[in-house]
Amino acid sequence: MMSIRKRVGIIGAGPAGLLLSYLLSLEGIDSLVLESRSRAEVESTIRAGVLEQGTVDLLKKIGLGERMEREGAVHQGIELRFDGSGHRINFHELANGRGITLYAQHEVLKDLIAARLKQEEQPILFNVENVQIAEITSDQPHIHFQHEHEQKELECDFVAGCDGFHGVSRAVIPEQGHHIFSRSYPFGWLGILIQAPPSSKELIYSYHERGFALISTRSPTLQRMYIQCDPLDDIANWSDELILEELQARLESKDQWQLQVGPITQKGIVAMRSFVIEPMQHGRLFLAGDAAHIVPPTGAKGMNLAIADVRHLARAFARFYQQQQTDLLETYSTTCLRRVWRAEHFSWWMTSMLHRFPDDDAFQQRLQRAQLEYTVSSRAASTSLAENYVGLPFTW
């Protein structure tokens, strides 16, 4: 068996794993990223790409913002639409000049992979199979895996589990001493990519009696759109024509707004859930990103939480290796969970306010309307939405 020695073993080449590896390299700390997919698969998997102001600032600070600044779309607000009227939440005015940048997750991953490969030879192993984590409660954990038909072992000081909700990392954490918080929502999102010009300058979140709808964007010629649906529905039941008709109906507007249409290049249905594990660490295994927490996509927090996690984790590792102090490692979970639960609440709040629930009655609908009307008419409520959407400071 071939043996490899690195200070930090990282499982998963998503935003959390790749950014952690890059941040560690800037501190002179060696690591190795193990990824089950190919590089092409990682770089082509389409995910949402709403970047908080703090995420944008961090990527710029570490030298990864050039293409994002050139190709990303900066938005200074969103629109809440209900009863045929649109109401703009002005981020720039309400959140001290902060905004969001729309830059797809797979583009962030391309930038991270390219930058990491420039730093050293083979810092990422793709197409890794049969990953097994062992001895995480010792001071010498190790990871067994297969790569290019060869059995290998990675010896390390720490393991970072950045391999998502269905990865192997969280599975090795014992139930005893940990708490799982989970909620499944009785609806999903049917998402499409469509070749068309933008239908709006900013994102539109629409509350409608037929269900929620969202207008987003990817580029001047490629748009991302969503409608609420049954999470167990078959995508085959949704023709392109039906999807576009439903979008137009749920986004109806008194100002005669029209959906910009074109060929639909991708469509699929995803379920929605909230999930948190506490604490986010066990022994020398530290979870980050979707391996530790899931939020419904309504609040656009998933990738941003992952980036906040590994920012803290990289600082903790740097403190350990440079100053021989463990305080940041010991408080990693507590520090991250404060932000995680704020994001969980915001995402739940946005989801509950904008979606139609299967057991909705007139009382529930009146509550949602009252919340929407208050949010768009009260500066305090609008400010709360704006501050949470653009992202709280990393020091929060």
Report pLDDT digits (tens) over 76-117.
Answer: 999 999 999 999 999 999 999 999 999 999 999 999 999 999
What single-letter amino acid sits at 214? L
- Report which secondary-structure segment, H or E, holds 294: strand 293-294
229 touches 186 (CB < 8 A) = no
Torsion of CA 102, 106, 112, 117, to 10 degrees: -150
Which helix (H) or strand (E) covers residue 220, if one does?
none
The mean of the pLDDT values for the chain is 95
Kindly state the tokens that stand for 247.
């979008």
d(C-alpha 66, C-alpha 52), whole Å: 16
Q: How far apart are CA 353 and CA 345, in angstroms?
A: 12
What was the pLDDT predicted at 396? 59
CB-based contacts of 181, cutoff 8 Å, min separation 6: 274, 275, 276, 277, 278
Residue 323 neighbours by CB distance under 10 Å = 10
The whole-number average pLDDT for the span 257-276 is 95
Give CA separation, 206 vs 83, 169, 269, 339, in Å: 9, 37, 18, 27
Strand 204-206 to 213-215 pairing: antiparallel
Convert the pLDDT of each residue in 361-384 to its tens digit: 899 999 999 999 999 999 999 999
- Tell me the catalytic residues: 75, 205, 297, 301, 389
Query: Which residues on neighbouring strands pair with residue 205, listed in sequence order?
Result: 80, 214
Residue-range domains of the chain with CATH: 2-49+104-178+279-350 (3.50.50.60), 186-271+359-390 (3.30.9.10)
Nearest-angstrom CA–CA distance, 169 and 286: 9
Strand partners, 293: 276
Higher per-residue pLDDT: 235 or 396: 235
Residue in the block written with tokens 């000081």: 157
Look up the pTM and report it. 0.95
Which spans in the chain are helix H? 15-26, 39-44, 53-61, 66-71, 91-94, 105-119, 240-250, 302-323, 327-330, 332-354, 362-377, 379-390
